[in-house]
Amino acid sequence: MNNETIPNFSIQELNQAIGDLVSRGFAPRFFLHASVSSSRLKNGHLWLTLTDGDASISAVIWSSSLKFISFHPKDDDGVEILGKLNFWKNRATLIVQVIQIRPTLSTVLKKFEKVRSLLIQEGLINEARRRALPKFPNAIAICTSVPSSAYADVLRIAKERWPLTKLFVFPIPVQGDVAAKIKSVISDLAKFYDQLGIEAIIVTRGGGSREDLMVFDDDELCRELAYFPVPVITGIGHEDDLTVADLVSDHRSATPTAAIVDLLPSKAMARNELDQIKQRSQDFVNWIIQRKYQIISDRRKIMLDIPPISIFNKKKEKLFQRSEILNALSPQSILKRGFCILRNHLNHSVKSINDVNLEEKVLIDCADGSIESIVKKVSPHTLN
Domain co-membership, 288 together with 254 = no
For residue 191, the domain's CATH number is 3.40.50.261
Does some domain include residue 23?
yes
Domain boundary among 245, 265, 285: 265
Does some domain include residue 384?
no
Exposure class string for 185-222: b at 16+ Cβ within 10 A, else e: bbeebbeebeeeebbbbbbbbbeeebebbbbbbbbebb
Task: Look at residue 94 in the predicted model and tell me its pLDDT.
Answer: 87
Domain co-membership, 195 together with 71 = no
3-class SS at 51? Answer: strand
- Alpha-carbon gap, residue 369 to 67, rounded angstroms: 122
Domain co-membership, 138 together with 245 = yes
Would the pTM of this model clear 0.75, i.e. be above it?
no
- Please provide residue 203's backbone torsions phi and psi, each rounded to the nearest 5 degrees: -110, 120
Domain co-membership, 189 together with 239 = yes
Going by the DSSP 8-state scheme, the letter that residue 349 receives in this structure is B
Does some domain include residue 171?
yes
Task: Look at residue 1 in the predicted model and tell me its pLDDT.
Answer: 52
For residue 28, the domain's CATH number is 2.40.50.140
Q: How far is CA 107 from the centre of its chain?
A: 31
- Alpha-carbon gap, residue 74 to 36, rounded angstroms: 7
Task: Look at residue 4 in the predicted model and tell me its pLDDT.
Answer: 67
Domain co-membership, 137 together with 273 = no
Domain boundary among 63, 84, 103: 103
Does some domain include residue 6?
no
Task: Look at residue 248 in the predicted model and tell me its pLDDT.
Answer: 95
Domain boundary among 103, 133, 151: 103
Domain co-membership, 145 together with 238 = yes
Q: Is the peptide bond before 147 cis (omega within 30 degrees of 0)?
A: yes
Does some domain include residue 381?
no
pLDDT in tens, 113-131: 889 999 999 999 999 999 9
Domain co-membership, 115 together with 147 = yes
Task: Look at residue 88 in the predicted model and tell me its pLDDT.
Answer: 82
Residue 341, number of CB atoms within 10 A of its CB? 14
**Which parts of the chain sit beneath pLDDT 50?**
none
Does some domain include residue 382?
no
Does some domain include residue 4?
no
Domain co-membership, 200 together with 259 = yes
3-class SS at 131? Answer: coil
Domain co-membership, 46 together with 91 = yes
- Alpha-carbon gap, residue 367 to 370, rounded angstroms: 8
Q: Count up the domains in the chain and report the number.
A: 4
Task: Look at residue 343 in the predicted model and tell me its pLDDT.
Answer: 87
Does some domain include residue 31?
yes
Domain co-membership, 238 together with 292 = no
Domain co-membership, 286 together with 169 = no
Domain region containing 196: 109-265
